[in-house]
Amino acid sequence: MDGDKNIMPSTREFTEEEVERYGTEFWPKLPSYRAEDRSIESCDLIPLFKMMKWPRTDSQIRQYTLFNEKTWGGRIKFENWRGAMLTAHDRIGYLRWTAETLDSNGDGYISREEYEFGMDLLTGHEPELAKVPYEQMVREADVDGDGRISIEEMIKWLDTIDNRIRP
């Protein structure tokens, strides 16, 4: 990373206009693009990032692909990608987007499976992020003591864990 204190986000800030332009100019040029749902396959991430002049490492690409396969079945809708790009420079915004995206069943809580998948993704992208067992995360993050981790609790915990690895 560039010395910024961020889990996964880039220091590159994308404007709404820029992201929309990528969606109208770049996405339709990708081989897997489907206009009916404005989506692409994970395999088109490399050419997309090249068109954007936004270099990513092989490890990052693998993690993005894994995330897309697991979260969206390998097809990335523009609206989902748009959310990631608009928060790529904003630490808390990105943590919120990540937590909301990982809540795959939409119940407002992060289950063990959702957490473990998310930590695999974040740790693969951000090697300094220590893998913390689910039970430990619950002990540290469950502020209201209900035994479940809400999206808000997850965001605060991720922010805290990031502070621990980058004092």
Dump pLDDT digits (tens) for 29-61: 999 999 999 999 999 999 998 898 888 888 888
pLDDT higher at 8 or 14: 14
**Structure confidence by residue, pLDDT tens digits, 119-140:** 776 766 566 666 788 999 999 9
Domains and CATH numbers, the chain: 12-89 (1.10.238), 91-167 (1.10.238.10)
Looking at per-residue confidence, does 158 or 78 come out higher?
A: 78
In the predicted model, is pLDDT for residue 105 greater than 80? Answer: yes
Residues 26-53: b if buried by 16+ CB within 10 A, e if exposed: bbeebeebeeeebbbbbebbeebbeebe
pLDDT at residue 2 greater than cutoff 70: no
Least confident piece of the model among 6-10, 34-38, 67-71, 98-102 = 6-10
pTM to 2 decimal places: 0.67
